[in-house]
């Protein structure tokens, strides 16, 4: 690994440390859960994990900007900005389901604009995850592996052979796009709600083929984009633009991306 002045290696270490901090509360049936202004749940684990991430970044890269889900943005003086989601899949976390993840991304400003160049997804309860730096490929790690392994999508070319995932099918109704979701799932081999960060992880490692979210924030998408691209897949918004700030996202293994976009744009 290398490049980005050590930020890729740092992002991996930060995600592991902050994610592992959440295990102090994982499985705690007495964990207090609050509702944020958008009615999404938040816990002390979310806040303390993000605080730890911010502390580590500010110590090692004090001039970089920081955007996180739980606290205010920090303006930076460099071309780099960190984007943090301490617990992606909080509903899974509070239910004791191990498919939640800690997401760390680094965005770089260039003449083309802001671009996510580093992504890390760490799944604390599983002790596995995936990371990527643009131009350096994507690698996944699991407890039974001595070293990280190359991650690649499974580039099937027919939707009827695809496993399609989403985080929560109810969000399609909130967006008014439930018919589009039904069109996608009826054409696919299987559809499941193994979503949030874990769904994108499954696409990047070839175990699923489509992950679609009708509603999401920048911290939900920033780490995912470089991982999917470096694993050989495609990542866009629902209009086919390679963006993380559109409020929706589509990640696929590649060949069926345009077909899925047409169905979603109904």
pLDDT, tens digit, 9 for 90 and up, residues 86-122: 999 999 999 999 999 999 999 999 888 899 999 999 9
Residue 246 has a pLDDT of 96
Who's near 196: CB < 8 A, 6+ residues apart? 88, 89, 92, 99, 100, 101, 167, 220
Burial status of residue 14 (CB atoms within 10 A of its CB: 0-12, 13-18, 19 or more):
buried
Is the confidence at residue 37, as pLDDT, over 80? no
Confidence of residue 251 (pLDDT cuts 50, 70, 90): very high
Is the confidence at residue 2, as pLDDT, over 80? no
For residue 224, what are its two tokens? Answer: 């995912």
Question: pTM here?
Answer: 0.96
Q: Which residue has the tokens 């990371």?
A: 131
Average pLDDT, integer, range 213-237: 97
Is the confidence at residue 9, as pLDDT, over 80? yes
d(CA 119, CA 246): 18
Taking all residues of the chain, what is their mean pLDDT, rounded to a whole number?
A: 95
Average pLDDT, integer, range 61-82: 96
Sign, CA dihedral 198-171-154-226, equals negative
């Amino acid at each position: 690994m290398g490049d980005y002045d050590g930020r890729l290696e740092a992002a991996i270490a930060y995600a592991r440390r902050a994610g592992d901090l959440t295990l102090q509360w994982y499985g705690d049936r007495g964990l207090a859960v609050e509702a944020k202004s958008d009615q999404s749940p938040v816990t002390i684990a979310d806040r303390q994990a993000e605080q730890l991430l911010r502390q580590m970044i500010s110590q090692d890269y004090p001039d970089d900007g920081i955007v996180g889900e739980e606290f205010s943005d920090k303006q930076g003086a460099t071309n780099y900005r960190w984007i943090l989601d301490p617990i992606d899949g909080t509903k899974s976390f509070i239910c004791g389901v191990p498919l939640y993840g800690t997401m760390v991304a680094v965005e770089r400003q260039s003449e083309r604009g802001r671009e996510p160049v580093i992504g890390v997804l760490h799944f604390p309860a599983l002790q596995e995850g995936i990371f990527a730096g643009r131009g350096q490929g994507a690698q996944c790690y699991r407890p039974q592996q001595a070293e990280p392994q190359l991650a690649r999508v499974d580039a099937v070319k027919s939707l009827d052979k695809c496993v399609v995932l989403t985080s929560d099918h109810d969000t399609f109704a909130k967006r008014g796009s439930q018919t589009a979701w039904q069109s996608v799932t009826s054409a696919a081999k299987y559809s499941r709600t193994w979503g949030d960060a874990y769904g994108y992880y499954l696409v990047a490692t070839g175990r699923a083929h489509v992950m679609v979210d009708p509603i999401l924030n920048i911290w939900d998408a920033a780490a995912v984009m470089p991982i999917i691209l470096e694993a050989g897949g495609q990542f866009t918004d629902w209009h086919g633009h390679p963006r993380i700030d559109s409020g929706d996202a589509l990640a696929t293994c590649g060949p069926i991306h345009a077909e899925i976009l047409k169905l979603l744009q109904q």
